[in-house]
Each structure stands twice: as structure tokens, then as C-alpha cells.
Amino acid sequence: MQYFYRSLGLFSTLLLFAAGCTSPFWATDNELFLRLPGTERRSDQVEGVLRPWERIERIAEKGEEGAKAPPEEKKILAFQLIKEYNRSQDPLVRRASIRSLGKITETAHIEPALETLLSALKEENLGNRIAAAEALGAYGSRVKSEDLTEVRQSILTVFAEAYRAQPFLSDAGSDKENNERKDFRLALLHSAPQLGDSARMIDFLAEAMQDEPLDDGALRLAAMSAMSKVTRKNYGADYRLWSDYVAYRRGKRSDPPKEISGLRSALNLNDSALLK
């Protein structure tokens, strides 16, 4: 009897472990067992055909390999990832391709990869759009050290267009969609500073700082934080001071406003009243 309980305990542990796994560990055709976590249908396994999690693992490996590879090999791996992205309908496989492309393009300018990442900003899947925004921010950070101003500006233009295309909806029952739109727009604002300071960047962030109906202050705060990273100025969460600074950058004010102290900045960032 003691042996039975020990076996039962071991079996239960394996099931709990399987529940946290990303891939099945047990192949069976028994309908009862197929209800357990960590199982898959044995008859669904096709020799020579990679299952989704195996493809994701391979894709991630290509990203790691491509980040360290010489230029020509980077291009080869990037084209393989682009092909993987285009042929797959699985959002997780596509997301893995986006992230791996992002790792490769952190150290190389590859035009087809840039086009793929820009197109991914229009995907229906929120996670993939966010992954594309993050990858494009890293791309912009890479090309910032080279004479590729037009590339950074083209990324920023698409960021601004994508941001405007995701306004909040006032329709009843739109909470879920509005939350997704906010998450995507926040991802754009968090990634934008890597594209560097420019007049177009100031315009983009100034627009995002505007008080928008249904926003809880998160977008405005994120826009001011991005503005601080881009300009290296400290106006905390004081919208009036940031507005004065934008006016200065646009030539409508002779001098920039005085920056605030570190203590006041810390207090401002935690005072939601200052966001209004």
C-alpha cells in the first residue's frame, strides 16, 4: 500500500509539472488521458514536421545566433525568419519571428526585415503588435549611430500613424478593446525614445500628451516620460512646463522653462492630480 501511495504521489507531481510546461511530454490516443495537461494525440505527430513549440524554439535559436553572426549570415537568417513569419498563421510563431528579427536588427540594418516589422504593427494580435513596436525601437537605436536618419524618421512616422489609428472608443462594452488599444499605444511611447531627438519626435510626443477622453492619465504620463528620455530635460509630470518646452522647441518661446528639482520630479510622478 505504501508503494501505491508513493507511485500516486510521483504521478501527481509529473502532472503538475506538465501543467506548467509549454510543450506536451506525453503522446497518447486514449481519449481519457488526452484530457490531462501535458498530453497530445500520438496520431497527430507527423515525422519530419515540426510542431508549433518546436518551431518557436528553432526561431528563438536563430535570433540568438543571428545577433552574434557576421553581416552576411545575419541577412540569411533574417530572410529565413521573414519567410517563417509570412507562412505561419500561428500568432505565437509569428511573435517569435518578430522578436528574433528584432534581435538580429539590433546590430544590422536589413531593409526587408524593417519592412516586415513595420507591417507587423498592423497585426490583429495585440502581443505581436507590441513585440513589433519593441523590435522597431531597438532597430532605431541601432541605426542611430549610423547615417540612417531617414530610417529612424520612417519608423517614427509609422509609429505616429499607428498611434492615431488606435483612439479610444466611446461605445458601450468597449472596455476590453480600449484596454488593448491603450497597451499598444503605451508600447509605442515606451519604444519611441530609442529613435532619437527630432522635431518630428517632439510633435509626436506633444500630440500624445494632449488630454484625451477616456484616458486615465497613463498615456500622458508615458508621453512625458518619453519626452524626458529624448530631450534629457526634467519637468517631471508637470504638463504646463512640458507644454512650455514644446513651445520653445517650436520657436514660439525664446527660452526653455526652468527644470525642476529631483525631489519635486519624484513627487510629481506620483501625483496623478498633476496629470490633469
Maximum average pLDDT range among 138-152, 221-235, 261-275: 221-235
Of the candidates 238, 153, 167, 237, the one whose C-alpha atom is nearest the C-alpha of residue 202 is 153
| Alpha-helical segments (H) within the chain | 2-19, 52-68, 71-87, 91-105, 111-120, 126-143, 149-164, 175-191, 199-208, 218-231, 239-249, 262-269
Q: What is the pTM of this model?
A: 0.77
For 209, phi then psi, to 5°, come to -80, -15
Predicted confidence (pLDDT) at residue 27 exceeds the cutoff of 80: no
Nearest residue to 119 (alpha-carbon basis) of 96, 136, 100: 136
Q: Give, in degrees to the nearest 5, the angle at Cα 153 between 183 and 91.
A: 40
- One-letter amino acid for residue 33 of the chain: F
- The helix (H) or strand (E) run that includes residue 26 is strand 26-28
Instruction: Give the pLDDT confidence score for residue 141 in this predicted structure.
Output: 77
Tell me the per-residue pLDDT of 71-123, one tens digit each, with 9 for 90 and over: 899 999 999 999 999 999 999 999 999 999 999 988 888 999 999 999 999 99
242, β-bridge pairs: none
pLDDT of residue 15: 47
- Residue pLDDT, tens place only, 164-221: 999 999 988 899 999 999 999 999 999 999 999 999 999 999 999 998 888 899 999 9
- What is the CB neighbour count within 10 angstroms for residue 197? 15
Has residue 267 got a pLDDT over 50?
A: yes
List Cα–Cα distances, 251 to 118, 121, 248, 254, in angstroms: 32, 33, 5, 7
Residue 223 has pLDDT above 70, yes or no: yes
Distance in angstroms (rounded) separating the CA atoms of residues 142 and 131:
17
pLDDT at residue 265, as a whole number:
54
With a cut of 70, say whether residue 37 has pLDDT above it: no
128-163 pLDDT, tens digit each: 999 999 999 988 777 555 668 888 899 999 999 999
What is the H or E stretch that residue 153 is in? helix 149-164
Query: What is the identity of the amino acid at 166?
Result: Q
Q: Which residues, at least 6 apart from 232, have a Cβ–Cβ distance to it below 8 Å?
A: none
> Within 10 A of 17 (CB to CB), how many other CB atoms are there?
12
Mean pLDDT of the 240-269 span? 84
Q: How many angstroms separate the CA atoms of 253 and 232, rounded?
A: 19
pLDDT computed for residue 140 by the predictor: 79
Does 134 or 267 have the greater pLDDT score? 134
